[in-house]
């Protein structure tokens, strides 16, 4: 995650689902899958989908980290000894500073036990290799800014938009013009204040909560 004027200004995620199977380890197969996800519901639905698709596997172990601050996470060993599967997967996600990411590793047991150390290394390797193949994306953290103003303030508002290099993503025209912008979080307050100043506080402005915005491939 990258720091901006008012805190975290962007985060790293993955751009699209990715899959990779590592070389067999003592007969066991480890299939790694990485997905961009928005919330826990989506992550758990993907886990359920893969459990159904690979119904004949022995284990479906996974971890996710969520949120623009990366403050929500969960992992699952799914029958493997505690700490040998889900946590190593999560550590690989964290080693790359990723969030809004789910990594799932499906294991087909090959008949030879790997021991706790061997299991942890195998799951970490499967997670690491699939993430190495995933396309990373930097996601800017934005805040929605909605502005309502009368015709007489159009020129003043346009001057501020030009200064901040902003273009409306939604527009409604009537007795008052209403524009919606997606503004980098670190600039949202100063953008709103500039609009207030330019219109002598006649513009009505609403600033919404932080949300993922512009995506840039890495």
Between β-strands 29-36 and 7-14, what pairing exists: parallel, antiparallel or unpaired? unpaired
Give domain status of residue 8, yes or no.
no
- Which of 134, 165, 181 terminates a domain? The answer is 134
- The reported pLDDT for the residue numbered 213 is 86
Q: Return the beta strands (E) in the chain as ranges.
A: 2-4, 7-14, 18-21, 29-36, 59-66, 72-76, 101-108, 136-149, 170-172, 177-184, 204-207, 211-217
Is residue 205 included in any domain, yes or no? yes
> 69 and 128 in one domain?
yes
pTM: 0.85
Q: What is the tens place of the pLDDT at every residue in 98-151?
A: 999 999 999 999 999 999 999 999 999 999 999 999 999 999 999 999 999 999
Q: Domain for residue 5, yes or no?
A: no
pLDDT of 5 reads: 34
Whether residue 199 is contained in a domain is answered as yes
Domain boundary among 79, 103, 134: 134
CA atoms within 13 A on the CB side of 25: 19
CATH of the domain at 89: 3.30.230.30
Calculate what percentage of the chain has a pLDDT beyond 90: 91
Please check the confidence at residue 95 and state whether its pLDDT lies above 60: yes
What residue numbers bound the domain in which 74 lies?
17-134
Mean pLDDT score, 149-170 = 97
Instruction: Quickly state the pLDDT bin for 8 (edges 50, 70, 90).
Output: low
Structural domain total, the chain: 2
What is the tens place of the pLDDT at every residue in 175-197? 999 999 999 999 999 999 999 99
Tokens 């009505």 belong to residue: 204
Q: Do both 130 and 149 map to the same domain? A: no
Q: Is the pLDDT of residue 80 over 60?
A: yes
pLDDT at 176: 96
Report the mean per-residue pLDDT for the chain.
94
User: What backbone torsions phi and psi does residue 186 show, to the nearest 5 degrees?
Assistant: -70, -15
What value does the mean pLDDT take over residues 199-212? 96
């Amino acid at each position: 995650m990258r720091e901006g004027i008012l805190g975290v200004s962007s985060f790293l995620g993955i751009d699209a689902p990715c899959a990779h199977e590592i070389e067999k380890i003592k007969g066991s197969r480890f299939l790694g899958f990485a997905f961009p996800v928005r919330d826990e519901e989506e992550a758990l639905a993907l886990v359920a989908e893969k459990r159904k698709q690979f119904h004949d596997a022995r284990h479906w172990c996974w971890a996710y980290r969520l949120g623009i601050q990366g403050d929500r996470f969960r992992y699952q060993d799914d029958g493997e000894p505690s700490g040998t599967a889900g946590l190593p997967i999560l550590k690989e996600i964290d080693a790359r500073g990723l969030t809004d990411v789910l990594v799932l590793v499906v294991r087909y047991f090959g008949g030879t036990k790997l021991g706790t150390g061997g299991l942890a290394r195998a799951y970490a390797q499967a997670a690491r290799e699939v993430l190495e193949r995933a396309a990373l994306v930097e996601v800017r953290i934005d805040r929605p800014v909605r502005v309502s103003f009368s015709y007489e303030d159009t020129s003043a508002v346009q001057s501020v938009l030009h200064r901040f290099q902003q273009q409306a993503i939604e527009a409604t025209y009537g007795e008052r013009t209403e524009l919606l912008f997606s503004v980098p979080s670190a600039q949202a307050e100063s953008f709103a204040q500039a609009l207030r100043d330019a219109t002598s506080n006649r513009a009505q402005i609403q600033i919404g909560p932080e949300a993922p915005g512009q995506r840039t491939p890495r």
